[in-house]
Structure 1
Amino acid sequence: MTADAAETTPTTATQSVLTMSNVEVVYDKVFLAIKGVSLEVGQGQMVALLGGNGAGKSTTLKTISGLLAPERGEVTRGQVHFMGEDLAPLGPSQRVDRGLVHVLEGRRIFGHLTPEDNLLAAFSLKSDRRRYQQLRDQVYTYFPRLKERARTKAGYLSGGEQQMLAIGRALMTEPQLLMLDEPSLGLAPVLVEEIFSIIREINANEGVSVLLVEQNAAAALEIAHHAYLVENGHIVMTGEADVLRQNPDVQEFYLGGAGKVDYHNVKHYRRRKRWLA
């Protein structure tokens, strides 16, 4: 598969919730962070965006959610459309109102508030008590541990519980697209498995499209329908998750390999890229 093909191949024939077309992002008017990135998320799809540190994954999410400006970043080329609407004129809060929500890396919650108050803070229709209770109960169904800790200050929750709360707060906005940035970061494997299982349930039961950014490629490819591989700001590979999981380069460099590592090949990995041949 060529680089051009990787950037233009649609994920499915289903209706697109999100499309990025040839997007470039520059920080401080100097550093080119992502370079001609194109991707698509279909209605009800779970799409994984994989890559190492500094590959451009988080920048891609911030481009979609409108959070580049505080970090002195700007889109210098390309377009992003959500439900057919150009996102360029919309601020972050307007994008949330449209149904696009971004769960940032690092479990950004209000530590001085209880989980219950965190959920209330994320709910936009403060006068609609019945709807709030319905959404809160839905969150507690997916994350029963939060109900048990509902009156504890969120800062005292475990890392896994805080990640559950961050996702639960996102659900309070009734998203059409849920973007998750490194939800497995710093968590024990058993918690990663639990949280990823719940993300899959949310996707299947609620019909919420998911764009999942992960360094844990093995966990992401287990639950995703489609995946993109980012390296040095470029999309270098895309395809169905099952296909990528069987790719020898993905297995060697992102899934831990099988057997002894050939460090000569690792050193020259960026130059050889068999998928670009």
Structure 2
Amino acid sequence: MEPLLSVNNLEVIYDKVFLAVKGISLEVPQGSIVTLLGANGAGKSTTLKAISGLLGPERGEVTRGVVRFAGRPLDRLPSPRRVALGIAQVLEGRRVFEHLTPEENLLAASTMHRDGAHVRSLIDRIYGYFPRLAERRSTRAGYLSGGEQQMLAIGRALMAEPRLLLLDEPSLGLAPRLVQEIFDIVRRINQEEGVTILLVEQNARAALAIASHGYLMENGRIVMAGPARTLRENPDVREFYLGGGSRMDYQRVKHYRRRKRWLA
């Protein structure tokens, strides 16, 4: 069965000089949660923006490779057309409209819908996933907590009724309890709405707990891939991404890098 999303040999360059993504390939099956892991600067967010069509404002461009969604190549399609096809991205850092209330934020994301009753139904469904937003529906979004703003950012993306949801670092800056709550809701959205999810995360432990498959990215390349359980049990991933090992020293880092080159 063809995956909902496939990325083949993708390269991305910024300012026609800096090669940020270096020939990566990945697949996201329909109805799955797939996570793209790696440290800050690995190229994860750039990969998401190449899929959603948001590279242009940052002077980035795809110079090689093909991104296919539901069998269709996305080359040169502007971002609004990709949203219309069913791709929505929640950007890192939340970026809600702080001067608007949560309800106004959700309404602002509903412009593709002309049926007012359908819009109301979508908002009520989002409040069902995020009761805290319903409680604070009349408060300006700028006064919400970081976790509430992240919930609002996800809810706003869901107003587009996406087939594929791209989540960029949803755990960033949140307390562990809130991370657990948001990831539980993400899993519910996947199971109950059938939304396919590509999750970019530095918090490998939380991401691998809900994903079925994972890719590990370093310096613009995929260096490891496999079922989430396999990655969780891999000694390198446990030691360097899950905090399963003792304090690193330079010799052990060099040995790790040699092993990663062999695995790649």
Partner of 1:130: 117
- For the structure 1 residues 275 and 256, does the alpha-carbon distance in structure 2 shift closer, same or farther, using more than 3 Å as the test? farther
SS at match of 1:175: coil
SS at match of 2:54: coil
2:28 partner letter: V
- For the structure 1 residues 55 and 260, does the alpha-carbon distance in structure 2 shift closer, same or farther, using more than 3 Å as the test? closer
- For the structure 1 residues 196 and 15, does the alpha-carbon distance in structure 2 shift closer, same or farther, using more than 3 Å as the test? same
TM-score by length of 2: 0.97
From 235, 240, 247, the counterpart of 2:227:
240
1:152 aligns with 2:163: no
Q: How big is the shift at 1:190?
A: 0.3
From 71, 89, 100, the counterpart of 1:113:
100
User: Which structure 1 residue ranges, 5 or more long, are not aligned?
Assistant: 1-13
1:109 partner letter: V
Partner of 2:245: 258
Q: Find the aligned partners of 2:145 and 2:163 in 1 and give their Cα distance.
A: 28
Q: Find the aligned partners of 1:260 and 1:92 in 2 and give their Cα distance.
A: 43
From 68, 71, 74, the counterpart of 1:81:
68
The alignment of Structure 1 onto Structure 2 pairs a total of residues equal to: 264
SS at match of 1:273: helix
| Alignment deviations for residues 192-233 of structure 1 (CA, whole Å, 9 cap, x no partner) | 000000000000111100000000000000000000000111
Q: How big is the shift at 1:19?
A: 0.5
| Alignment deviations for residues 105-157 of structure 1 (CA, whole Å, 9 cap, x no partner) | 00111000000000001113453111001110110000000000000000000
Partner of 1:8: none
Partner of 1:11: none
Partner of 2:180: 193
Larger displacement relative to structure 2 (266-275 or 182-191) = 266-275
Q: Find the aligned partners of 1:121 and 1:155 in 2 and give their Cα distance.
A: 16
Partner of 1:100: 87
TM-score by length of 1: 0.92
Partner of 1:166: 153
Larger displacement relative to structure 2 (254-263 or 170-179) = 254-263
User: Which structure 2 residue ranges, 5 or more long, are not aligned?
Assistant: none
Partner of 2:127: 140
1:96 partner letter: V
Percent identity (aligned): 67
Q: How big is the shift at 1:275?
A: 5.5
Q: How big is the shift at 1:269?
A: 2.9
1:32 aligns with 2:35: no
1:217 aligns with 2:204: yes
1:176 aligns with 2:163: yes
1:178 partner letter: L
